[in-house]
Amino acid sequence: MFSRTMTTRSISSYYDSLAQLGRELDTADAIIIGAGAGLSTSAGLSYSGERFHKYFYDFAEKYPIQDMYSGGFYPFDTLEEHWAWWSRHIWINRYMDAPKPVYSQLYELVKNRDYFVLTTNVDHQFQKVGFDKHRLFYTQGDYGLWQCSVPCHNETYDNETAVRKMVAAQGFAFAKDGNLYVPDGIKLKMEVPSELIPYCPHCHKPMSMNLRADDTFVEDMGWYHAAEQYEEFLQNHRNQKVLFLELAVGYNTPSIVKYSFWRMTHDWPDATYACLNYGEAYAPDEIKRKSICVNGDVGEILTALETQ
C-alpha cells in the first residue's frame, strides 16, 4: 500500500513538473540551454558497452581499456597507434549521427524561440541537427579540431578529411550515412601510416586534440567569439523572463553550467531554473521556488513534452 501510494505521487509529480516546464517554455522571452555529457548519452553516444566493443574490440583485447573515455588517456607506444585510436574515437563521436534523435527533439522544441546553448560537450551534435552556430558556445573544445600540442600558436584546424583517411587506412569502410563497418574478411589495423600523423605547420611538433584536458588547451578566435556572443546574450536578456534549461549536467565541471545557472536564477528577477537529469535533478533551497526539477532520461522527457 505504501509503495503504491508513493508511486502514484511520484508519477503525478512528474507530469505536474512537465506541465509547468511546458508553460515556462511557452512564455519565456529567452531560453538558455546548458547541456552536459548525459544529453549525448541519452542520444545513444555511449562510451562503453556494446558501442565501445563494436569499434574498439581489438584495442580492448590488447590493452586494459574498458571504455572510450579512459582509452583517450592511454599512453600508446607510438603516434601511429595513438592516432588509430583517436581517429576512430573522433569519427564515431563527431562525424557519425547520434543513434537516437534527442538533439533533433530539442531543436524542434526551441528552434522558433530566442535561445542560446552553453555546453561542455565536444561532439558537435547541436550544429549537426540545425542549431544556429552563432548561438552555441562549446566551452571545452571540439572533436573536429586539432591544435598544436605545445601549443606554439592559438589556431585550430579542421580534421574531417584527415580523420577519414586514418580510419580507412585501418580497414574500415563507410556506409552511405557515414557509419563505419568492417568489410568481410578484413582484419583491422591498430595503427595508421606514418605519413598521416598530423604535425604542427609552424613548429612541427605533433598535433593534439582541441580538448580542455590540461593547460595546453587552445582558445582560438572562434572560441572567444562564441564567449562574447554568450555574454552579450546574457546582458540583453537579464531583465526579461528567462528559462535556464539545464540538461543532464553532472558534477565533473559544475561551475561552467550548473553553478552559473544557479547564480543567475537567484540574481535575475524573472528567471526560472529547470533541471532535467536522470537521478540528479536538484535545485538548492535558495532558488527552489524558482525551479523545476524533472528526474528521468532527457530523451524520454523531451518526448513527453512533445505529446503535451
Domains of the chain by start residue, with CATH: 16-45+100-141+219-308 (3.40.50.1220)
Closest listed residue to residue 129, CA positions, set 59, 25, 45, 17: 45
Average pLDDT over residues 66-81: 97
What's the CA gap between 141 and 209, in Å, rounded?
Answer: 8
pLDDT tens digits for range 192-234: 999 999 999 999 999 999 999 999 999 999 999 999 999 999 9
pLDDT at residue number 308: 73
In 147-160, which positions are buried (b, 16+ CB within 10 angstroms) versus exposed (e)?
A: bbbebeeebbbebe
pLDDT at residue number 8: 40
Mean pLDDT estimate for the chain: 95
Percent residues over pLDDT 70 in the chain? 96
Beta-sheet pairing, 157-158 with 180-181: unpaired
The band of 7, judged by pLDDT with boundaries at 50, 70 and 90, is very low
Q: Is 275 annotated as a binding residue?
A: no
Average pLDDT over residues 133-162: 98
Burial of residue 248, with CB atoms counted within 10 A of its CB: 0-12 exposed, 13-18 middle, 19 or more buried: buried
Percent residues over pLDDT 90 in the chain? 94
Q: Is 200 annotated as a binding residue?
A: yes
pLDDT at residue number 13: 86
pLDDT at 62 over 50: yes
pLDDT at residue number 172: 98
Q: Is 148 annotated as a binding residue?
A: yes
pLDDT at 12 over 70: no
The alpha carbon of residue 211 and the mean position of all alpha carbons in its chain are separated, in whole angstroms, by 12
Average pLDDT over residues 11-15: 76
CB contact at 8 A, 271 and 262? no
pLDDT tens digits for range 226-250: 999 999 999 999 999 999 999 999 9
pLDDT at 64 over 90: yes
pLDDT at 9 over 50: no
pLDDT at residue number 11: 59
Q: Is 152 annotated as a binding residue?
A: yes
